[in-house]
Structure 1
Amino acid sequence: MTDYKTLIDAETWAFIEKTNSYYPPDTIDYTVPQQRAIYDQMCREFFAGYPQGVTAETTAIAAPGNSIPIRVYRNATPDKAAMVLYAHGGGFILGGLDSHDDVCAELCARTGYDVASVDYRLAPEHLHPAAFDDVMDAFEWAAGTYDCPVLLCGDSAGGNLSAAVAHATRGHTKKPAGQVLIYPGLGGDRSRGSYVTHAQAPMLTLRDTEFYLKIRTGGVDRTGDITLYPLSDADFAYLPPTVLITAQCDPLSSDGEAYRDRVVAAGGRAYWFEEPGLMHGYLRARHTVGRARSSFTRIVEAVSTLGNGEWIW
């Protein structure tokens, strides 16, 4: 049994307890509409506002048979070296433009890059590959709209979607310039590593991950589907430079290590950092927990560095 009282410090526990007060650990046993209402309220409670100089415009991308809402963040003193396409977390059933609104605004402020957040379709109303298709269409829009390189970035479910798009666009005339994946679920081996050691971690358990996968697919076995499980790809060559930042106390953490190893083995550039003593969902703690604050700075630096076409790891 993992001793989280030792791994997790007091201020992080305070964040966990505050989160649990809004979003109880048994929330996945509620109906999906109830889960969304609880999640949205929690996100509002943690909303930190916009940094000075950042503005946002909500619009939509016209896609085949679909209209995809996006929110574009711009800095008063923009850096046009790159732009960021952001895919939010939420287990493929939760979240949207508002759930990660302040995160995207702060990413824009601290990098200077335009950030476009994608409001992809959610399960169970829209099963896989709907979310993947929407982020793919958003990438096509970004690549065709911006004259600068496009970076992929996302947390949790959004990290999965970003990686899947990176794999699918290797032959694109304007493929992604890099990807920053924050505690992503990439379809790793559930019988080993963090899936076992941290199966009962605070904020996200193995049972939670299995629930989200089942509801995303409608219970259909899609083994080998790269757009669902990027780690199932047989070829990891020619992927963009990749930075993976995971949380130690998270069943998904080993996916970051496995993905790093596959990219490097194929001759690519990838760096994996596991944040000690943090758990899934810590982005909302970036203003109150020292470890989360430091991690968000690492994320910002990774986005900035890749956007400038540099590799420092």
Structure 2
Amino acid sequence: MADYGLLLDEEVRAYIARGAEFYPPHAVDLDITQQRAVYDDMCAAFHAGRPEGVEVWDEPYGGVPCRRYEAGEADVTLIYYHGGGFVVGGLHSHDDVCAELCARVGVRVISVNYGLAPETIFPGCYNDAKAAFDAIALAYPQTLLTAGDSAGGNLAAAVTHHARGQIAGQILIYPGLGGDPTKGSYIEHANAPELTTKDMLFYQTIRTGGTPPPTDDPRYAPLHDTDFSSLPPTVIVTAECDPLASDGESYRNAILAAGGQAVWFNEAGLVHGCLRARGMSARGAAFFDRVAGAIDALAKGNWPY
């Protein structure tokens, strides 16, 4: 098993400790209301503010609440799906992330507030994600990118699979894509800080309302698709110390095998959720730079990989 005393530096350990002040390591044992409360407290504590010059509107697309960010004229729209295990999070949880990406890259960002479990169970979250995408594509048809972290990375990829041909690129940040739980990072990092395989089982169970998860539905797990052709250029950025890291490798390999463009970066010494570490950790800042750089490249139609 991994030795996190060696893999994690002092800055990342301090970031983990700061988050644990609000969101305890065993938060999945709390009831849903409590989970959302402690997660919201953590997000508020890490919120870095919005950069100057970013304007924000809350408005629905396809009947789904969304938040639009703009920093001047933009021909590219990034549709962002937030993480949170399909259980926690919302427009507030990734507000500063979306605002900073908007300011740094100069793209329009629209964050999608899809329905959460247990109130909304699969395929409801996917239906929300796709309905919002379809409406955004009508409103801003020029260049569309999809992105998301963790559960949101799952939704971004699922939407991209069902809208291939409409999307110029996708950026997936430590996504859960339905990889093989018997090997790779699922085993090596089963007890990683910030996300464990036990946590993942909880999220899987609540996402389906307690029914067995589908095994052949790419809306649920994009890696279960049988056709990876014609997907847009794809950048996957994962954290080394995360049971989901191997999903990035598997997804890249599937796209490459189908003749597409994909690259996977597994950033050393980082943990699940490390987008929030960018203000406390040099590694976290470099991770965020990697994500922003990928969005910038795909927005310009470049493939520097």
Shorter-chain TM band: over 0.9
Separation in 1, partners of 2:229, 2:60:
33
Letter in structure 1 aligned against 2:253: D
SS in structure 2 at match of 1:95: coil
Per the alignment, residue 234 of structure 2 pairs with: 242
Match of 1:202 among 172, 193, 196: 193
Could you tell me the percent identity over the aligned residues? 51
1:74 and 2:65 matched: no
Per the alignment, residue 36 of structure 1 pairs with: 36
Separation in 2, partners of 1:19, 1:78:
36
Separation in 1, partners of 2:107, 2:269:
30
The alpha-carbon deviation at position 147 of structure 1 amounts to 3.5
Per the alignment, residue 170 of structure 2 pairs with: 179
Letter in structure 1 aligned against 2:70: R
Per the alignment, residue 267 of structure 1 pairs with: 259
Unmatched 5+ stretches in structure 2: none
TM-score, normalised with respect to structure 2? 0.98
Per the alignment, residue 290 of structure 1 pairs with: 282
The alpha-carbon deviation at position 26 of structure 1 amounts to 1.1
Match of 1:217 among 196, 208, 228: 208
Letter in structure 1 aligned against 2:47: F
Letter in structure 1 aligned against 2:11: E
Separation in 1, partners of 2:64, 2:222:
23
The alpha-carbon deviation at position 309 of structure 1 amounts to 1.1
The number of residue pairs the alignment matches comes to 304
- Please show how residues 35-74 of structure 1 align to structure 2 within 5 Å: 35-61=35-61, 63=62, 67-74=63-70
1:98 and 2:89 matched: no
Per the alignment, residue 10 of structure 1 pairs with: 10
Given that 1:247 and 1:276 are in contact with CA atoms closer than 8 Å, whether structure 2 keeps it comes out as: yes
Per the alignment, residue 252 of structure 1 pairs with: 244
SS in structure 1 at match of 2:270: strand
Q: Deviations over 1:256-283 (max 9, x none)?
A: 0000000000000000000100000001
Per the alignment, residue 21 of structure 1 pairs with: 21
The alpha-carbon deviation at position 5 of structure 1 amounts to 0.5
Q: Once superposed, what is the RMSD of the aligned Cα atoms?
A: 0.9
Separation in 2, partners of 1:7, 1:147:
44
Separation in 1, partners of 2:5, 2:26:
21
Separation in 2, partners of 1:32, 1:277:
30
Per the alignment, residue 132 of structure 1 pairs with: 126
SS in structure 2 at match of 1:24: coil
Given that 1:79 and 1:111 are in contact with CA atoms closer than 8 Å, whether structure 2 keeps it comes out as: no
The alpha-carbon deviation at position 79 of structure 1 amounts to 3.5
SS in structure 2 at match of 1:109: helix
Q: Deviations over 1:227-252 (max 9, x none)?
A: 00100111110011100000000000
The alpha-carbon deviation at position 150 of structure 1 amounts to 0.6
TM-score, normalised with respect to structure 1? 0.96
1:310 and 2:302 matched: yes
Separation in 2, partners of 1:168, 1:111:
26
Separation in 2, partners of 1:143, 1:11:
40
Separation in 2, partners of 1:194, 1:78:
41
